[in-house]
Amino acid sequence: MKKLSLLIAGLVMSVSVFAQKNYLKEPAAAKNKRMQWWTDDTFGMFIHWGLYAVPAGEYNGKSGGAEWIMETHNIPTAEYEKYAAQFDPEKFDAKKWVAIAKSAGAKYIVITSKHHDGFSLWDSKVTKYDIMDATPFKRDILKELSEACKAAGIKFGLYHSIMDWHQPNANPKQKPDVKPDFNKYRDEYLKPQLAELIKKYDPTILWFDGEWIGEWTEEQGKDLYNYLRNLKPSLIINNRIGKARGGMEGMNKYQDAAGDFGTPEQEILKTNSQDYWESCMTINNNWGFAKYDHNWKSAQVLIDNLVDVAAKGGNYLLNVGPTAEGEIPAPSVERLGEMGKWLDVNKQAIYATKGLETYKQGDNIRFTKSNDGKTTYAIFNKADNNELVLTAVQPKDGSKVYMLGVNKPLEWTKSNGSVVVKLPAELPCKYAWTLKMQSSSDAK
Ligand code: FHN
């Protein structure tokens, strides 16, 4: 009898050890709890860095491509691999990069672990086409960056491309006479690399891309989502793990899709959304470093974008493309610093807030609300005659109205359905300003 009970116990144990939880059926309350830090943080720094920084958008005298340069200029794999021998970013300083993100007010970082070119920016046991074996640099960039993030209290996330131009089983162009076995790539390369990334660097976010290839399906995305959540249940994963996004608008075309948030790219949703979503954008026109691209967005545009995204209930993932020497371009650093100075004054209107149904008034006023619903913020980037007229959202009768960064309450009057707030003679910051109030719709 004793032997039989031991056998049954062992069987139950083995089943339970290997029983995979189905995270696709995660209750909304559990998802909201898991996503809370992400939605409160609102603002992240994207980093596109890899071998493509060596050519920096130029090949054989022709410009174009940046991180797509291998495809844009049809560079043969053996030719492109030569960039690895030149990739020796002596000025790379993870602590400095994290300090730049922190000075911008970014709360999380997402860096390309592997972009479409298939090069691994970490010490991978799955391939020799990585930073440790293929370059003279021989330092584990993701290890250094994940540790610097942890030390600075910045969450660490990883971008990972499903499309892989370097892997023969993922790229039919690699060996025309060999029929690629995509399942083999998925099961013996893609999944093992993701497992080692989770084990070695403990990312909080996995940001997939390159899902548009014909070999990838929503079903594979769902399987991968469950596989990864079972490896790390608290992981937050974007919707590009599956096939649901509708192009650059980025939101799911159907229900029950794999992934936790929508991914508008180079654009902001036209209106507010109760779904989880994050707009990713470049600071100039390219994700990877391009030596000729000096088309930097102004700090005003970047702050207006951040405010618009927050008012519509989203996150903003703003990209930098470091050089082959390991430096974030100075114009990016300068603009990120301006965003950080602005957030120092106005952060309580951006972090840990939620969008309102009435999220805007005209083109120059956006509204956000504190998570507890007790405080409303009106963020504006233009005012005439040193006063702001509020019609869409107004302070409760008799309540005080403050400007963030100014101690004394502001004078305001109400007539004919409009509230007129007298602005202080000296404004606390540049670019945009925030009124803090208890609006009539606020929770008691
Ligand atoms: O092809 C990529 C591109 O290189 C870049 O990584 C962006 C950023 O999300 N995503 C894809 C284009 O949609």
Pick the atom of ligand 1 nearest to 263's CA: 9
Output the ligand 1 site: residues, CB below 6 A: 67-68, 209, 265, 280, 287
Q: What's the CATH number for 353-438?
A: 2.60.40.1180
Pick the atom of ligand 1 nearest to 68's CA: 4
Two tokens, residue 254: 């159907």
Average pLDDT, the chain: 95
How far away, in angstroms, is 49 Cα from ligand 1 center? 12
pLDDT at res. 16: 46
pLDDT at res. 246: 80
Q: Whose CA is nearest to atom 1 of ligand 1?
A: 210
How far away, in angstroms, is 170 Cα from ligand 1 center? 18
How far away, in angstroms, is 284 Cα from ligand 1 center? 14
How far away, in angstroms, is 209 Cα from ligand 1 center? 7
With a cut of 70, say whether residue 14 has pLDDT above it: no
Q: What's the CATH number for 26-349?
A: 3.20.20.80
pLDDT, one tens digit per residue, over 136-188 is 999 999 999 999 999 999 999 999 999 999 999 999 888 888 889 999 999 99
Of 162, 206, 209, best ligand 1 pocket probe by most atoms within 8 Å of the beta carbon: 209
Pick the atom of ligand 1 nearest to 66's CA: 4
How far away, in angstroms, is 275 Cα from ligand 1 center? 22
Two tokens, residue 90: 């002596």
Of 159, 265, 281, best ligand 1 pocket probe by most atoms within 8 Å of the beta carbon: 265
Q: Where are the domains of the chain?
A: 26-349, 353-438
How far away, in angstroms, is 372 Cα from ligand 1 center? 36
pLDDT, one tens digit per residue, over 395-444 is 999 999 999 999 999 999 999 999 999 999 999 999 999 999 998 776 66
Query: Three-state SS string across the chain, please?
Result: CHHHHHHHHHHHHHHHHHCCCCHHHCCHHHHHHHHHHHHHHCEEEEECCCHHHCCCCEECCEECCHHHHHHHCCCCHHHHHHHHHHCCCCCCCHHHHHHHHHHHCCCEEEEEEECCCCCECCCCCCCCCECCCCCCCCCCHHHHHHHHHHHHCCEEEEEEECCCCCCCCCCCCCCCCCCCCHHHHHHHHHHHHHHHHHHHHCCCEEEEECCCCCCCCHHHHHHHHHHHHHHCCCCEEEHHHCCCECHHHCCECCCCCCCCEECCECCCCCCCCCCCEEEEEECCCCCCCCCCCCCCCCHHHHHHHHHHHHHCCCEEEEEECCCCCCCCCHHHHHHHHHHHHHHHHHHHHCCCEEEEEEEEECCCEEEEEECCCCCEEEEECCCECCEEEECCCCECCCCCEEECCCCCCECEEEECCEEEEECCCCCCCCCCEEEEECECCCCC
Report yes or no: 363 and 392 within 8 Å, Cβ to Cβ: no
HSE (side-chain half, CA atoms, 13 Å) at 84:
20
pLDDT, one tens digit per residue, over 43-78 is 999 999 999 999 999 999 999 999 999 999 999 999
